[in-house]
Amino acid sequence: MIDGVPELEDLGDVSGKSVLVRADFNVPLDGERITDDLRIRASLPTLRWLLERGATVTACSHLGRPKGEANPAYSLDPVRGRLAELLPEVKLKENLRFDPGEEANDAAFVDQLVAGHDVYVNDAFGASHRQHASIVGPPSRLPSAAGRLLAKEVEVLLGLRERPRRPFVAVMGGAKVSDKLGVIEALLAIVDSIVVGGGMAYTFLAAQGHNVGASLLEADMIDACRSLLASGATIHLPEDNTALGPGGKLLDPGAGGEVRQVGRDIPDGWMGVDIGPGTAAVFGDVILDAGTVLWNGPLGVFEDERFAAGTRAVAEAVAETRAFTVIGGGDSAAAAKMFGVDNDVDHISTGGGASLELIEQGDLPGLAALRAAGKRLTT
Ligand code: 3PG
Ligand code: MG
């Protein structure tokens, strides 16, 4: 058991049982084409373990945010197709969020979900920070356990909180400070330094009194950034930036607009959209000297080749360093894949919000529900 959370072995004999597996098959789609099946492949160890022991397996998941209504654009059919290629024995229910009871954590919806099943397994790490019916409901109805993926994620991410190899460096990027303030505050108590890039760096630079031009700025977060900077923690900010000039458009090089390297101050009308080469080198050195690296969020608009260099340099440093390296889901995982370094990282989390919340809080609603079920299993 991981900290009171039952695992598959704790379920006893599952042969002949009907097992409901909550997975996170919220995969990126381009129309009906799955552009990254990591979350499907990551669920296979649990699904196989159950099948090999003679269980009948039904999986369920959400996909996107259809807001409680059936909507063919959010159908799980593409996932069903991929799953049929990988493990045809597994049945898959339709998108849980087609029913408003899922997000409302409605008791009648939980009853409907577990009907006909003998055992519940939560392997949906990426959704375990949600108080939704399929995550927190079934453990009060059925013998329940964490699947392999959930257990592995918890072991690695809680390990970062509890016994990191030092120095421990967190590399934080992405657009908004407001999304990450809680986790940055929590990380400051754990890490030796934080490296900040991406859109959110400009709110930090503004808090230091720099001109940020037309860059992303969350004015209501400036005070919060100022207190973080005054806390005495080691926070590395960009010393130079790649900026896009007036008239330019992101993801559209044909639209014109000049691209230029600037310092900490961004000229009026210009938009900082990537860390500059000097900063990329400094950040790379910090990563190479680390004992543990947690990376969450791109350092620039890497989907636009003109502004990919900062994120690429960080991805390469994360691949090269001898540190234990963890990528916290979503965009940074996509970036690691795009730059071909995804196999050189120790752990790529399948959860974005969930990984940050687990590091921040040390627990998740889905784990708490399983822990309560675990007490019943053992008494
Ligand atoms: C995710 O992709 O972040 C998870 O699947 C959770 O989805 P949600 O943010 O829509 O709850
Ligand atoms: Mg999300």
- List, as one string, the DSSP characters of 310-373: HHHHHHHHHHH-SSEEEE-SHHHHHHHHHTT-GGGSSEE-S-SHHHHHHHHHS--HHHHHHHHH
Tell me which of 1 and 333 has the higher pLDDT.
Answer: 333
pLDDT of residue 1: 65
pLDDT of residue 209: 98
What is the C-alpha separation between 154 and 362, in angstroms, rounded? 9
Q: Which residues line ligand 1 (CB under 6 A)?
A: 24, 26, 65, 126-127, 130, 352-353
Question: Residue 295: phi, psi to the nearest 5?
Answer: -115, 125
Tell me the CA–centroid distance for residue 351 and ligand 2, in Å: 8
Whether 65 shows a pLDDT value over 70: the answer reads yes
Number of the ligand 1 atom closest to the C-alpha atom of 124 = 5
Pocket test for ligand 1, best of 38, 62, 348 (most atoms within 8 A of CB): 62
Number of the ligand 1 atom closest to the C-alpha atom of 26 = 5
Share of the chain above pLDDT 70, in %: 99
Tell me the CA–centroid distance for residue 257 and ligand 2, in Å: 32
Q: Identify the nearest ligand to the CA of 28 by its number.
A: 1
Number of the ligand 1 atom closest to the C-alpha atom of 62 = 5
DSSP code, position 83: H
Question: Residue 172: phi, psi to the nearest 5?
Answer: -115, 130
Q: Mean per-residue pLDDT for 49-62? A: 98
The residue with tokens 């399929």 is 134
Whether 330 shows a pLDDT value over 90: the answer reads no
Enter the tokens of residue 143: 């013998």
CB distance 351 to 377 below 8 Å: no
Q: Mean per-residue pLDDT for 297-305? A: 96
pLDDT of residue 220: 97
Closest CA to ligand 1's atom 11: 127
* Burial class of residue 256, CB neighbours in 10 A (0-12, 13-18, 19+): exposed
Q: Identify the nearest ligand to the CA of 128 by its number.
A: 1
pLDDT of residue 374: 80
Closest CA to ligand 1's atom 6: 127
Instruction: Indicate yes or no: pTM above 0.85.
Output: yes
- End-to-end alpha-carbon separation of the chain, Å? 15
Q: Identify the nearest ligand to the CA of 63 by its number.
A: 1
How many residues in the chain? 379
Whether 109 shows a pLDDT value over 80: the answer reads yes
Tell me the CA–centroid distance for residue 52 and ligand 2, in Å: 32
Whether 10 shows a pLDDT value over 80: the answer reads yes
pLDDT confidence band for 378 (50 / 70 / 90): low
Number of the ligand 1 atom closest to the C-alpha atom of 354 = 3
Whether 276 shows a pLDDT value over 70: the answer reads yes
Which residues share a beta bridge with 347?
326
pLDDT confidence band for 136 (50 / 70 / 90): very high
pLDDT of residue 37: 93
Beta-carbon contacts of 296 under 8 Å, excluding residues fewer than 6 positions away, are 170, 171, 172, 173, 174, 180, 183, 327, 328, 329, 330, 332, 352, 355, 356
pLDDT confidence band for 375 (50 / 70 / 90): confident
Whether 348 shows a pLDDT value over 80: the answer reads yes
- Give me the chain's average pLDDT, please: 96
- What pLDDT digit, counting tens, does each position of 171-213 carry? 999 999 998 999 999 999 999 999 999 999 999 999 999 999 9
Tell me the CA–centroid distance for residue 378 and ligand 2, in Å: 34
pLDDT of residue 142: 97
Tell me the CA–centroid distance for residue 279 and ligand 1, in Å: 32
Tell me the CA–centroid distance for residue 86 and ligand 2, in Å: 25
- What pLDDT digit, counting tens, does each position of 218-239 carry? 999 999 999 999 999 999 999 9
Which residues are catalytically annotated? 39, 176, 330, 353
Q: Identify the nearest ligand to the CA of 129 by its number.
A: 1
Number of the ligand 1 atom closest to the C-alpha atom of 39 = 5
Q: Mean per-residue pLDDT for 85-114? A: 98
